Every structure is written in C-alpha cells, then in structure tokens.
Structure 1
C-alpha cells in the first residue's frame, strides 16, 4: 500500500476512534451530570467537575509508570506556567461553568446555547494565525451562527445570569481548545504526556474553588449522604470525565480544535434528543429548525476542512498523521531504499 494511502487511512481510523470515544463518553457524562445536579439535587458543579481531572491524572500517571508511555521532556516551572497551566485553568473553568448551567437551564437548552462555540473557537484560531479563512468554511460558520441564533430565540426559558455564564463559558472553552491545539501540534507533545501535565493544574484549581465556594458539599450531612447513597454515580462521572479528556485531546491532535467543536454540534443533537426522551424537556419548532441549520453549517464546514487535511496528507505523505507515525514511516522508507 502506498505511504500516502496508509497516511490517509491512519488519519481516518484514528480520527473516528477518538471522536467516537469522546462522543459516547461525553453524551453519557452530560446526562449523568444533569441527573446529579437537577434530579439528585447535588448542586455543586465544581465538586462534580473535580473528579474528571483527578482520574485523568491517575490514568496518565499509570501509563507512564508502567512504561507504556515515555516522557519526551522535563518541563521547567516557567515552561509549565506558560503552556500547561493556562490549559489546566481554562479546563477547570470550562468544566465548572458547563455544569453550573444546569442550575439555570434544562439539558436541551444548554446544548442549544453551546452551539455558538465553534464560531468563537474559529475566530480565535484565525486571529492567532492558526487557521485560514476560505469562502466555503466561512459560509459554514455563518450558517452555524445563524442557526444558533434562531434556535436560542425560540427558547421557552431564559435566565440573564445563566446567559452571562454561557458567554463566559464560550470564551473560556474557545481559549481551551486553541491552547490545546497549540500545545499538541506546535509543541509536538504526545497525548498522554499532555494529559499528565494538564490534569493536576485543572484539579488543583477546581479543588481550590471547592474549598472556597462549595465547602457545604462535604460539610453538610445531607450532601455527604447523597454521595454515599450513590457512589457509583459520582465515581462513574469521574471515569467518564477521564474518558472525555482522552477523547478530546486525541481528537484535537488529529482533527484540530475547530473541527472538534463543530463535531460537538452533532453530539449536542444526540443529547437534546436524549433530554427530550428521558427528562421530558420541551422543544419548539423554531429551536429544531435553528439546530438543523446549525448542523447543516457544520456539515458544509467539515467537508471542506477534511478536503484541506487530505491535500496536506497528499502533499507531505506523512506530516499530518503525527510525530510518532511520521518517525515510523520514515524508518520504513529508509529500509525500503
């Protein structure tokens, strides 16, 4: 099989694997978080969010200590503060804000409000010179923007505080995606190594927030009983959070942060359907039409973005498939010569 074909096949296989892992884990996590906050009335979003980074760090640490993954670098304190600390802080904010929204909106409404996220991420990538604007991709982004605006205009519930939290969350989430793409691709950092470095920062920041704002999660007996009555729920949320982190980093490493955020719109459609089916959330015709337009914009954008990736693979033969695969392919080519 020609090297270029192998590169393209590896690209698709890895992309589908990581996106599938992320999609399955994140859909389940959203439903579990909503259940814990809205149904079980454990109204402590930072405490719930804290479990994911902790288990992510433990998984990455085991991978390193077992010899499965070898660290490629030793970060200085200054380098860590410039690269991984911002990623961890943005992740902590993003997780906490994402769960806090369930205090103000139903599951379906939260996903509709998050549909604007690809536009924010795309704007940041273009502003930082990490992506280029083309007419077809711009058309897709415009459709996503218009569809989101139409969907949100049909919402039957509205909270000014919740909406402000959404806007702040979109900016933080966009920053997180761009920072991850910069670390993984510009710094050539392997996925497990990135998880090992970022997770402690996210956990410490969330733990600090819990100590300041959510001490009642552990100090009040009623809240402690909720944790002890359903330990499988809260442990499961932590495991799902770790799986989402692995899928997120893997997908960003291969597909890019904007494509990843665009893919989130498809996942959101599944979440909205599940919320209507299991939680009885209400949807208006305007919301459904707006989301259809958003998904159509995503499809258009993703088609042309994939074409760009394939042109890069055909031009380089291997550069788009990652540093490890690149080294392996080069070695095989040398042996063939």
Structure 2
C-alpha cells in the first residue's frame, strides 16, 4: 500500500473546528441542565400545589421568579459573574422587557393551572405541540428560516411524543384550555427572549438578561396573584401552611432560577427552537421509563 502523507489542516481550520466542538458541548450541556432543572421544577411545584394543598398557581410561579430576580441581581451586580453592559432606557424596558415578562408570567401561570386539572404525563403530551408554536412564531419574527428539514424534525418529535403519551383517561377541558394557552404564550415568550438576547441591537448576556426579565415577569405574576389569589389565601390561611415547609419554598425558588438560567443559556447559544424539542424528547423518555 503506498504511503499516504498526513494532511495537516491550517491553524485557522483547526481553530474553527475546536470552536465548533466547544459550542456543541456548551449547547448540549445547557440543554441537559435545562431538562433536569425543568423536570425538578415540575415535580416540586406539583407537590406544593397538590400534596401540600396550596392551589395558587400564580403564587407558586412567584416563588421561582422572585428567586431568579434575587440570584441574578446578586450574580451580576455584586459577584460580577457576568458583564453588565449598562442600564437600559425606560422606553426599551417598557416596549421590550415588560412584554416578554408578561408572556413568561402568563405561560407559567397557565401551565401551573393545568397541573391542578391534569396529570403530569398528559401535560407533557400537550407540551409536545410547543415546538410547533415556537417554530411558527420564529418564522413570523424572522428569527428562523423555513426549511423542510426543520419542519420535518419538529413534526417528527411532536408525533413521537404524542405516540408515547397517547394513553390518558382523565381529560379536563379547563386543564386542556389552560395548557394550550400556556403553550402559545411560551412559544411567543421564547422567540421574544431570543430576539432580546441574540438578535437585538442591545444584546444581553444570559445572566444580565435574567436580571431584567425576571423582575418584569415577577411584577406581572404578583399582580395576578394579588388580584386573584390573595384574598382566598388569607381567608383560608394557606400561606401559613406553606410557610411550615420552607424547604419546598427554597426548592421551588432554586428550581425556578435553574430553569430560567439554563433556558437563557440555550437560547443565547443556539435558538428557541433548540429548547422545546430537547425537553420534549426527554419527557418522552421519562414517560416511557415510568410505564
């Protein structure tokens, strides 16, 4: 066999390959972190609302969002773990950050409402449609280009999860309606976050974006909680019951920060469409393992 000399790649090509490999590793790590944190948040919040008899989805949302607000502010302003590119204008906050926070609050609120009426497995079946709404909103915002491969991939993932979680006997119209609305808000929220983090002229680092977005979402969800849940919570003294389990309160706050931080990392490294299919595949595997 004749001797074939080894082909030595130029330094620029090697550097590009290393950069692409590092990017892939970072995306995969962020996706895995998000799936784990999201699954933990689902289980903790479901336990608080159902097992601890605290049926207040907006207030449970507030635990994670307020925790995210505090931790992200400490990380950026005090610990300097992420560079802060300066303050934002009032107009930018009102027109870009607050609307994104509103859809995040609505998505979490409606999603938690669905858990009061549906099983965790059936909620995950409905969430299989979230990549579809995310894809459509991404096309509308021109953050992704339509392609047969992308559409086929999202459709295949959705069909696979539906097939894996098809058996469901208890269906609540209220729960399904809440989950569908949550899915639409989630898709819009993800593409708005991607636009805010990656594609705007005023791009943010992930932790810095959380420092602005989490308080905005906290404002909306606390407004919902005060207007719809505060009176009943006070009359039935459910807040005292929750205070008797501080471990779950801290766990919900920590899980909320983990979900939001990992989601922001995935969106900044890849795209909003990377986020939902990664969770969809993981929950399908979890569902099959539990059968």
Q: Which has the higher helix share?
A: 1
> How big is the shift at 1:149?
5.5
Equivalent residues in 2 for 1:1-337 (5 A)?
2-63=14-75, 64-147=77-160, 154-187=167-200, 188-216=203-231, 218-220=233-235, 222-272=237-287, 276=290
Q: Number of aligned pairs?
A: 276
Name the TM-score, length of structure 1 as normaliser: 0.76
Q: Residues 274-316 of structure 1, C-alpha deviation per residue, up to 9 Å, x if partnerless?
A: 7x4xxxxxx7xxxxxxxxxxxxxxxxxxxxxxxxxxxxxxxxx
Cα distance in structure 2, aligned partners of 1:240 and 1:146 = 29
* Partner secondary structure for residue 59 of structure 1: helix
Q: Aligned with 2:118: secondary structure?
A: coil
The residue number in structure 2 matching 1:306 is none
Q: Distance in 2 between matches of 1:221 and 1:161?
A: 23
Alpha-carbon deviation of 1:218?
4.2
Asked if the contact 1:216–1:223 (Cα under 8 Å) also holds between the matched residues in 2, the reply is no
Q: Secondary structure at the match of 1:68?
A: coil
2: CA distance, partners of 1:251 / 1:42: 32
CA distance in 1, matches of 2:214, 2:102: 10
- 2:128 partner SS: helix
Contact residue 44 and residue 252 of structure 2 kept, 8 A: yes
**Deviation of the 1:19 alpha carbon:** 1.7
Change in CA separation of 1:234 and 1:5 when aligned onto 2, cut-off 3 Å: same
* Cα distance, 1:219 vs structure 2: 1.0
Would the alpha carbon gap of residues 271 and 104 (structure 1) be closer, same or farther in structure 2, given more than 3 Å must change?
farther
Shift of 1:26: 1.1
Q: Alpha-carbon deviation of 1:255?
A: 1.8
Change (3 A) 1:15 1:220: same
